[in-house]
């Protein structure tokens, strides 16, 4: 396995290097197959890793030294256990399907090779993030996925909106990176380790629930919140939809944005040791889940609706890992990767069919024109809404809500948030489905819609299969070496609680059905009746506007003030004032070349004389006493 793990990592890196350095010279066919093939190969290596992990193996292998000085010893080491294996399987597996899809989706784009280079760079970075065995390389992977995300959000760099969205994502994620770096400092300064093995074995040396461990976990959470677009660092994710749709599927839905969940799960021994920090994770998750779901109900851009849904679903995962239900959180990560990637890729087909129009009000009646996309999107919608038994989303979401409702303390409050979110999820997803795919043709001109080519539909079909069967994968027992066996619930309690979730979802579905399929005039009437609330939700609670007024504009105004006033008048003014006082005659020399040299010589000479005087005084006779 000590060879296998680097192979998983290096294959996408090789793909990146080939496409980045030679992509412009290679035919598109080759570029596409290098891009997708390298991820496919990495998936094969990941499967081999799985077989070894199932055989009971683990890996913590160091390959070279990053920095060693005294006891600050940071190796480059890879750490493979069940958790990282689950991650690399999803990253390379779902990643491979999305790369295949991209060959079709991006076929007419001028930046084809650049696209695949960035995508491979992303997969490499994400694999580094989950395979790293120490905090420094975790942070490096963390920042590199942020970089790839930045590059792909701003992929169409001629579009100003894409450029700004990319910058916003990068800067907000830098805040998270700094938080993680500070967490690493606290860990090193208190435990003198930065590798996971050492960290996990020493974390219990810290007082439980103490200041140090709580600070560490909260600082890590800053990174997790930024990367996973949770409150209050969430505003970059909807804008990130400026990137090509496969990017939204891979990075901003299935994998990268779940890195925060992975981080908390990976550091679960720390969070178990810091109950306040863990509770903070859970509250942020629960609140974000509901917050994002409400926004999702009032958007009309198909990708933005899915983006808010992603934010909301990751909120579920945060809630889960925050209350210690790590397995449930990771389970939902996996099922979400399937159904959300599916939803995005299917949405991509729709957007292509409508010539890059993303407004759901312009779409409709897609069953005949895009049958594969229609049915797979329906499967995705059912899965995310938790349609019972046959969808994966049902099993994983239910596990989270059950864990919250049956937990010992006041977590049931979060369970109620989660139930509300479940209802809202069914509502906004069916609203989307009914309006965009539904029965009524609302477009003004009659366009002939065409289904996407097989290279774009086959990956979606595979994902749809995943969105159905992934619920039956025994993730809990696979992850039990990491998190221990989850608590068993009785059948009665199980179905009782599942019934609650189902009821919530059913209500959401029913309202959406009535409002958008049966009596559309009702939607219009309600929108007018609750206009202020609708405006608030439609404008995302004005958080963007708030940040703009509080941080961005004052920041730039401050910069201008410093540039126009402080630097020239105050600081340089003081300097020039002093200079004018002491070197009045310098003005006379200005402009005369020899004069300036002379002034320099004068100053030096004068200085030397002064110095000699001082030394003479000092060595010869001192008027002042020299202490010992």
Site residues (CB under 8 A) for another protein, limited to 5-24: 24
Closest CA to 147 of 256, 44, 260: 256
By the rule CB under 8 A, 577 interacts with another protein: no
SS3 132: strand
Binder of another protein out of 559, 577, 588, 598 (CB under 8 A): 559
Q: How far apart are CA 364 and CA 359, in angstroms?
A: 11
Q: How far apart are CA 61 and CA 8, in angstroms?
A: 14
**Degrees to nearest 5, angle at CA 189 with 208 and 258:** 70
For residue 531 the two structure tokens come to 């206009």
Stretch that binds another protein, among 100-108, 329-337, 523-531, 610-618 (CB under 8 A): 610-618
- Between residue 159 and residue 188, which ones bind another protein under the rule CB under 8 A? 159-160, 163, 166-167, 170-171, 174-175, 177-178, 181-182, 185, 188
- The DSSP code sequence of 417-462 is HHHHHHHHHHHHHHHHHHHHHSS----SS-----PPPHHHHHHHHH
Binder of another protein out of 64, 439, 472, 581 (CB under 8 A): 64
Binder of another protein out of 563, 580, 598, 609 (CB under 8 A): 563
Nearer to another protein, 78 or 435 (CB): 78
Binder of another protein out of 571, 580, 588, 598 (CB under 8 A): 571
Q: How far is the CB of 86 from another protein (least distance, A)?
A: 24
Cis peptide before 101 (omega within 30 of 0): no
Q: How far is the CB of 500 from another protein (least distance, A)?
A: 43
Nearer to another protein, 69 or 491 (CB): 69
Nearer to another protein, 448 or 590 (CB): 590
Q: How far is the CB of 79 from another protein (least distance, A)?
A: 18
By the rule CB under 8 A, 580 interacts with another protein: no
Cα distances from 161 to residues 155, 157, 538, in angstroms, run: 11, 9, 19
By the rule CB under 8 A, 581 interacts with another protein: no
389 burial (CB, 10 Å; 0-12 / 13-18 / 19+) is exposed
Q: How far is the CB of 180 from another protein (least distance, A)?
A: 9
- Between residue 98 and residue 157, which ones bind another protein under the rule CB under 8 A? 136, 139-140, 142-144, 147, 154, 157
By the rule CB under 8 A, 615 interacts with another protein: yes
Nearer to another protein, 137 or 331 (CB): 137
Nearer to another protein, 533 or 583 (CB): 583
Count interface residues toward another protein (CB under 8 A): 73
Q: How far is the CB of 542 from another protein (least distance, A)?
A: 22
By the rule CB under 8 A, 618 interacts with another protein: yes
Do residues 301 and 344 make contact, with C-beta atoms less than 8 angstroms apart? no
- Between residue 231 and residue 290, which ones bind another protein under the rule CB under 8 A? none
Nearer to another protein, 65 or 276 (CB): 65
Identify the bridge partners of residue 301 per DSSP, sorted by sequence position.
359
| Chain mean position to CA 119 | 15
Outline where DSSP puts E strands in 13-102.
59-69, 72-80
Binder of another protein out of 107, 367, 596, 598 (CB under 8 A): 596
Site string for another protein, 186-205 (x = CB under 8 A): --xx----------------
Q: How far apart are CA 76 and CA 135, in angstroms?
A: 10
Q: How far is the CB of 578 from another protein (least distance, A)?
A: 10
- Between residue 475 and residue 494, which ones bind another protein under the rule CB under 8 A? none
Q: How far is the CB of 281 from another protein (least distance, A)?
A: 22
- Between residue 314 and residue 343, which ones bind another protein under the rule CB under 8 A? none
Q: How far apart are CA 500 and CA 418, in angstroms?
A: 11
Binder of another protein out of 522, 575, 580, 609 (CB under 8 A): 575
Q: How far apart are CA 35 and CA 23, in angstroms?
A: 10
SS3 78: strand
Do residues 407 and 279 make contact, with C-beta atoms less than 8 angstroms apart? no
Nearer to another protein, 408 or 626 (CB): 626
Do residues 228 and 263 make contact, with C-beta atoms less than 8 angstroms apart? no
Do residues 263 and 222 make contact, with C-beta atoms less than 8 angstroms apart? no
Q: How far apart are CA 196 and CA 181, in angstroms?
A: 15
Q: How far apart are CA 16 and CA 117, in angstroms?
A: 5
Nearer to another protein, 260 or 415 (CB): 260
Contacts of 606 (CB under 8 A, 6+ apart): none
Q: How far is the CB of 69 from another protein (least distance, A)?
A: 4
For residue 290 the two structure tokens come to 């509901």
Q: How far apart are CA 261 and CA 128, in angstroms?
A: 16
Binder of another protein out of 2, 359, 567, 588 (CB under 8 A): 567
Q: How far is the CB of 184 from another protein (least distance, A)?
A: 8
For residue 430 the two structure tokens come to 């069916």
Q: How far is the CB of 145 from another protein (least distance, A)?
A: 11
């Amino acid at each position: 396995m000590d060879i296998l793990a680097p192979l998983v990592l290096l294959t996408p890196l090789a793909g990146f290097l080939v496409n980045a350095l030679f992509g412009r010279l290679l035919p598109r066919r080759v570029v596409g197959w290098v891009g997708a093939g390298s991820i496919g190969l990495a998936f094969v290596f990941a499967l081999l890793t799985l077989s070894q992990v199932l055989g009971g193996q683990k890996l913590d292998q160091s390959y070279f030294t990053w920095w060693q000085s005294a006891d600050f010893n940071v190796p480059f080491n890879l750490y493979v256990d069940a958790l990282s294996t689950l991650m690399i399987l999803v990253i390379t597996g779902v990643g491979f399907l999305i790369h295949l899809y991209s060959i079709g989706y991006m076929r007419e784009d001028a930046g084809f090779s650049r696209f695949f280079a960035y995508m491979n760079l992303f997969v490499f970075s994400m694999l580094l993030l989950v395979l790293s065995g120490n905090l420094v390389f975790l942070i490096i992977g963390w920042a590199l996925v942020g970089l790839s995300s930045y590059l792909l959000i701003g992929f169409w760099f001629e579009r100003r909106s894409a450029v700004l969205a990319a910058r916003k994502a990068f800067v907000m994620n830098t805040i998270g990176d700094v938080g993680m770096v500070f967490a690493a400092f606290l860990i090193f300064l208190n435990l003198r380790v930065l590798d996971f093995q050492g960290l996990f074995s020493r974390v219990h040396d810290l007082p439980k629930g103490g200041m140090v461990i709580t600070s560490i976990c909260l600082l890590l959470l800053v990174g997790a919140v930024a990367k996973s677009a949770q409150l209050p660092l969430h505003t970059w994710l909807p804008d990130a939809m400026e990137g090509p749709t496969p990017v939204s599927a891979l990075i901003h839905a299935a994998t990268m944005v779940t890195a925060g969940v992975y981080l908390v799960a990976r550091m679960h021994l720390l969070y178990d040791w810091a109950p306040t920090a863990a509770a903070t994770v859970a509250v942020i998750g629960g609140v974000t889940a509901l917050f994002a779901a409400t926004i999702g109900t009032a958007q009309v851009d198909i990708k933005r609706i899915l983006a808010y849904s992603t934010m909301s679903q990751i909120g579920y995962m945060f809630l889960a890992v925050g209350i210690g239900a790590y397995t449930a959180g990771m389970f939902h990560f996996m099922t979400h990767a399937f159904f959300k990637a599916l939803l995005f890729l299917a949405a991509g087909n729709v957007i292509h069919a409508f010539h890059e129009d993303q407004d759901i009000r312009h779409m409709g009646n897609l069953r005949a024109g895009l049958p594969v996309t229609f049915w797979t999107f329906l499967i995705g919608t059912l899965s995310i809404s938790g349609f019972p038994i046959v969808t994966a989303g049902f099993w994983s979401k239910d596990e989270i809500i059950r864990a919250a409702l049956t937990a010992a303390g006041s977590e049931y409050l979060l369970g109620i948030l989660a139930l509300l979110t479940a209802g809202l999820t069914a509502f906004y997803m069916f609203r989307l489905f009914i309006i965009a795919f539904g029965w009524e043709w609302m477009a003004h001109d009659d366009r002939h819609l065409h289904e996407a080519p097989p290279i774009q539909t086959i990956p979606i079909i595979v994902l749809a299969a995943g969105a159905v069967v992934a619920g039956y994968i025994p993730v809990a027992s696979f992850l039990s070496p990491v998190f221990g066996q989850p608590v068993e619930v009785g059948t009665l309690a199980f179905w009782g609680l599942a019934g609650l979730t189902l009821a919530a979802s059913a209500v959401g579905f029913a309202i959406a059905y009535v409002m958008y399929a049966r009596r559309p005039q009702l939607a219009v009437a309600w929108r007018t009746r609750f206009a202020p609330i609708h405006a608030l939700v439609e404008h995302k609670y004005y958080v963007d506007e708030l940040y703009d007024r509080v941080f961005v504009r004052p920041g730039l105004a401050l910069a201008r003030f410093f540039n126009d006033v402080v630097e020239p008048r105050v600081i340089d003014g003081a300097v020039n004032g002093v200079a004018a006082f002491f070197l009045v005659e310098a003005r006379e020399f200005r402009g005369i070349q020899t004069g300036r040299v002379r002034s320099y010589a004068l100053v030096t000479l004068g200085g030397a004389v002064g110095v000699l005087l001082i030394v003479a005084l000092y060595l010869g006779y001192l008027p002042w006493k020299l202490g010992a």
